[in-house]
Structure formats: structure tokens, C-alpha cells
Amino acid sequence: MKLYEYEAKNIAKQYGVPVPRGRVAFTPLEARQVASEVGGEVVVKAQVLVGGRGLAGGVKFASSPEEAVEVASRLLSSEIRGVKVSAVLVEEKICISRELYLSLTIDRAARKPVFLVSEMGGVEIEDLARRYPGKIKRIYIDPEVGYTSYMARIALTALNLPWSLIGDLDSLLKSMYRIMVEHDAELVEFNPLVLTCDGRVVAVDAKIIVDDNSLQRHPELQKLHGREYLDFERRAKELGFSYVELDGDIGVISNGAGLTMATMDSILYYGGRPANFLDIGGGATRDRVKEAVKLMLQHPRSRVLLVNIFGGITRCDEVALGIVDALGEVGGLKPIIVRMLGTNEEEGRRILREHNIDSYVEMDEAVKAAVEASRRG
């Protein structure tokens, strides 16, 4: 789960990480209040969980509380990359000498946390990694040992900072590791971390991503879970399905994450476009299948529904009954194409046949039929 910048900065502040003075505002009037408390020129930053905010016009400056009101009201009535802005962060404007990159993430190959350190800050890490792969220093942490201070000395060199800042950098790195462990984070990123005109190190932007599997240990965060989802994603997650919205017109229901992705990919391969990812998981019952099918029959953009089930623990007769139930409740709003095989396959097919629903044995055949139907539909 991604935290908003202001939430990440509030956490960082608690751990002694230097961040600009300021706080979040949910209305233009609050923005005026914060701007006058901060004094002088301020920056007003739209709080959204999508990347590329700066380029999309989500960061503005204001030289007075009056201007802050104006800027904030414009941002608060806008959308950034399709997401409505409901809060802005109002902060002192920092005089920047250099922009640096600093993050702590998990290296999957090493199976360890790793600091990524670069003196080329301010650009997204994706671009940094592509354009200057040699400019990123990696410092690994053994999870059984934890952070130790020599890491700051290596980082100081990589960041090309003066020795006088070693104490500050040591506390900063130590805090990042504590934030990661104590909040079960998979990413703690300060980008840019800046060297100010008066020689201090300040985290001008902050990003924290918390491991979804750990949310139950953080009840204060768990209740926020799901807020980054689009409407349909939220409905699907509330029903307990793993769901991602895509932009095509063929609805997909399958069992298992890999098979669901393979179904989407095969749709593309045969010339169609998948509308979504919906994994009903292992051993889904008649009722679960019904809920999934009902959901996708009502999905506005998809014109065809493809159900692809490889029965193991999941039983084909339960799947068939669930499909029939869903059609009974919401009706045949769009063509439905079923591929299933495995446990209780014959019984499943018999049930579908009784209701004039064709079913396929081979995945490719079903996918082709769905693509064909989407062209007709």
C-alpha cells in the first residue's frame, strides 16, 4: 500500500528525518492558514498516489497566502492522471543547491534490503536506472545484522557530500531502516533528497510503500487499505477477488494469478484486448463464482466475458452452477464464453449445456471465440 507524501513525511519527521516545514490541507482556506504559518514563498503539492505528478502540473509555487488559496483551489478541483486531488501539501520553498536520490528497498535477488544512492536526484528511479545505471550505488543490509554506520560513509562518498554532514547522513540512513522495519515497508524513498543552499540535507519528497501482507500488524494503516483502487477494483476487492482494471473490452475471470495473466495475454495474441484481471482463487464455490460472474456481467466496458478455469481444487460443476446462478440474477447482458476442464468437468458441461451455454476444452479455442465475439458485439 502506497502512502501519500504527507503521510510519509509525517512518519519521517517522527524519526527525525529533516523535511520542509508545512502540512497537509484539504481546503483552500486550510492552505491559506498553513501558508501564513510557514511564511514566505511556499510550494503547494497535489497529494495523489500516481507517479509523474510534477510533469502533470501537480506542483505549484505561491509567494503569498492569497496566492496559495488560489493555487490550492485550482489543484483541489483538478485531476492528476485521472485521479481526483483531495488534498494538497503546503510547505516552505527550499533553496536547493543539489538534488540527490536516496531510497531503501528490497533486492529480490540478494533477498536483502538495499540502499540505492545516487547524486543524480530529482528524476524518477526508472529513468535514472535506464540513463545512468553506473551512477547508482547499492549498499546491502543483512536483515540479521541491521543497519551499521559504515554504510553512511559509503553513501556520503557516492553522494559527493562534505564530511561535515556524516553525522546527519548516518542518522538519516539509520532512520530509514527503522522506518522500513517498524512499518513493514517495501520502499522508503527520498527523491529528491536535497543539499540546501545553506548546506543542510532535507527530504523534499518522500514515498513509503507498506507490504500488503503486513497490514494486519498495522491497524492504523489497514483501515486505509484500498483507497488507491479505482471504483470497480474496489467493488471486486470487497468481494475478496484479486482484481486489476485494464482498458480492453473482453472481461476475464480465471483461477490462479498466472493463468489469469496468460488468459489476458492470449487475448492480446489473438487480436483482442482484455478488460480486466480477475482471479477467483483456488477452490472457489458456486457462490463465489456467481459473485464474480455477476460483477463482470455488469462491467461497463467489457462486451464479452471469458471464463477460463483449470479445475483442480476448483470444481467445474460448482463453476457451472455459479455461472447459471449469475445469469439468472442479472440476465445475459453480454455473451459469455466458458473454458473449463479438470475436476467434475463432465457434470459442469452438462449443466452449462442445459442452459444453452457452450463450453470449450482448449484455452486457445475459447480465447479465439471470445475475440471473435468481441468484434461482433
Partner 1 sequence: MGILVDSSTRVIVQGITGREGAFHTKLMLDYGTKIVAGTSPGKRGMYVHGVPVYNTIEEAIREQGSIDASIVFVPARFAPDAVYEAVDSGLKTVVVITEGIPLHDELKFINYARKKGVVIVGPNTPGLLTVGECKLGIMPGHVFKRGSIGLVSRSGTLTYEIARELGKQGFGVSTVVGLGGDPVTGLDFIDVYDMFLRDQGTEAVVLVGEIGGDAEERFALYYRGLSVRKPVVAYIAGRTAPPGKRMGHAGAIISMGIGDYSSKRRTLEESGIIVADTPSQIPSLLGSLLR
H-only helix segments in 77-133: 125-131
Whether the CB-CB separation of 51 and 83 falls below 8 Å is answered with no
Instruction: Compute the distance between CA of residue 114 and CA of residue 96 in angstroms, rounded to an integer.
Output: 26
C-beta closer to partner 1: residue 166 or 261: 261
Q: Which three cell numbers stand for residue 105?
A: 528497498
By CB under 8 A, tell whether 261 contacts partner 1: yes
* Pair 292, 277: CB distance under 8 Å: no
Closest C-alpha to 116, from 131, 98, 133, 96: 133
Site for partner 1 in 75-104 (CB under 8 A): none
SS3 (DSSP) at 100: strand
Q: How far is the CB of 314 from partner 1 (least distance, A)?
A: 8
CA distance 151 to 183: 21
Shortest reach from residue 63's CB to partner 1, in Å: 35
Catalytically annotated residue among 7, 189, 291, 318: 189
Closest approach of partner 1 to the CB of residue 366, in Å? 12
**φ and ψ of 151, to 5 deg:** -60, -35
Question: 114-153: which residues touch partner 1 (CB under 8 A)?
Answer: 124-127, 129-130, 142-144
Query: What is d(CA 363, CA 343) in angstroms, rounded to the nearest whole number?
Result: 16
Cβ atoms 46, 79 nearer than 8 A? no
Angle between helices 28-38 and 65-76 (to 10 degrees): 140
**89 vs 24: CA distance, rounded Å:** 4
- Judged by CB under 8 A, the residue of 312, 328, 329, 353 near partner 1 is 312
Site track 218-247 with partner 1 (rule: CB under 8 A), x = hit: ------------------------x-x-x-
- The torsion angles phi and psi of 294, rounded to 5 degrees, stand at -60, -45
Among 11, 38, 187, 201, binds partner 1 (CB under 8 A): 187
Q: Which is closer to partner 1, CB of 41 or CB of 211?
A: 211
6 annotated active-site:
no
195 or 221: CB nearest partner 1:
221
Taking a C-beta distance cutoff of 8 angstroms, is the pair 301, 367 a contact? Answer: no
Cα 254 from Cα 352, distance rounded (Å): 17
Task: Pick the closer one to partner 1 by CB: 168 or 189.
Answer: 189
Q: Which amino acid is at 143?
A: P
Name which of 35 and 180 has its Cβ closer to partner 1: 180
Binding-site member from 10, 23, 37, 51 for partner 1 (CB under 8 A): 51
User: Looking at 11-19, 26-34, 336-344, 349-357, which segment touches partner 1 (CB under 8 A)?
Assistant: 336-344
- 15 in contact with partner 1 (CB under 8 A): no
Asked about 5 being catalytic, the answer comes back as no
Per rule CB under 8 A, is residue 249 in the interface with partner 1? Answer: no
Per CB under 8 A, residues contacting partner 1 are 51, 105-106, 108-109, 111-113, 124-127, 129-130, 142-144, 180-181, 184, 186-187, 211-214, 217, 242, 244, 246, 254-262, 264-269, 274, 277, 279, 282, 310, 312-313, 341-343, 362-364
Catalytic site positions: 101, 189
